Amino acid sequence: MQRIREDVPIARRVPRGAKSRELPIGPVVLSVALALGTGLAALFLLQDQISQGFLAPSLVAGIDVKPDQFGRLLGHFPYPEATADQLIEIAPGMLLQADAAAAYEQMRRAAETDGVELRLISAYRSMSTQKQIFFDVKSERNQTAEARAKVSAPPGYSEHSTGYAIDMGDGSLPQSNLSVDFETTPAFYWLQNNAQRYHFQLSFPLGNRQGVSYEPWHWRFEGTSDALKRFQPANQHEQRGV
């Protein structure tokens, strides 16, 4: 008996005299076209946002890597810096966009009613502050820019600079602040079940597509059209892998 070569595609193993079935080309072509169309639409939308200024990719002194075609630098999307007239003080030395501040205060009071003590650890950061956080710690820890970007955004690429992002802790367990251990606290459990009611979303969940380290304490406000525009590229990237 003649042996069939294992390297021959199965689709070609048709006995003589047997009538081969035709591949339904129409549905396959249509499915491929739809998939390509969706991907291209997302690509063009992101590039359009870059050209309109929603994304403003730029080189960062001290980092040799260039932003990719979507404006991302080491996994982070670029963000504009909030202006002074857009910010209000929500706690001593802490500023937020007015809508984000109002939503956070409502959320904090609701959590307090449920016996949970949300603590605001960090809010708006200027680009100059973010520059110090990125490069000073990078130097202290002898990190590469790629390694540092896993846990901190380069200046010009931090959600905190928009005035819409916050870091939160649990007042009853301060030792968990800015630690993955925060995910075991009553505050994080409460946020998982209630934060979206106040338009806050976890920015860097476990296994996020941006490749940023898991940060259960870092949440961003998406409750206005301006905030949605700022974070739309990041949301599309997370949902579609674009």
- What is the per-residue pLDDT for 242? 52
Measured distance CA(55)–CA(53) in Å, rounded: 5
**Which pTM was predicted?**
0.74
Residues 6+ apart with CB under 8 A from 56: 50, 71, 78, 80, 156
Low-confidence ranges of the chain (pLDDT < 70): 1-59, 241-242
Are residues 166 and 100 in contact, defined by beta-carbon separation less than 8 angstroms?
A: yes
What token pair was written down for 233?
């590229």
Q: What b/e readout covers 56-80, taking b as 16+ CB neighbours within 10 angstroms?
A: ebeebeebeeebeebbbbbbbbbbe
pLDDT (tens digit per residue) in 83-112: 999 999 999 999 999 999 999 999 999 999
Measured distance CA(170)–CA(39) in Å, rounded: 40
- What is the per-residue pLDDT for 100? 98
